[in-house]
Amino acid sequence: MMDLVFLGTAQGQGGGMFNMMVPMILVFGILYFMMIRPQQRKEKERREMITNLKSGARVVFGGGLLGTVTNVKDATFVIKVADNVKVEVLRGAVSRVVEKGEKLDEEDGK
Regarding pTM above 0.75, the answer is no
- 56, with CB counted inside 10 A (0-12, 13-18, 19+), is exposed
pLDDT in tens, 56-82: 999 998 888 899 999 999 899 999 999
Of 4-8, 47-51, 89-93, give the lowest mean pLDDT range.
Answer: 4-8
Identify the pLDDT of residue 13.
Answer: 52
CA–CA gap between residue 46 and residue 92 (Å, rounded): 9
The distance in angstroms from the start CA to the end CA of the chain is 68
Q: Which run of H or E residues covers position 87?
A: strand 85-90
pLDDT in tens, 5-37: 444 444 445 567 888 889 899 999 999 989 999
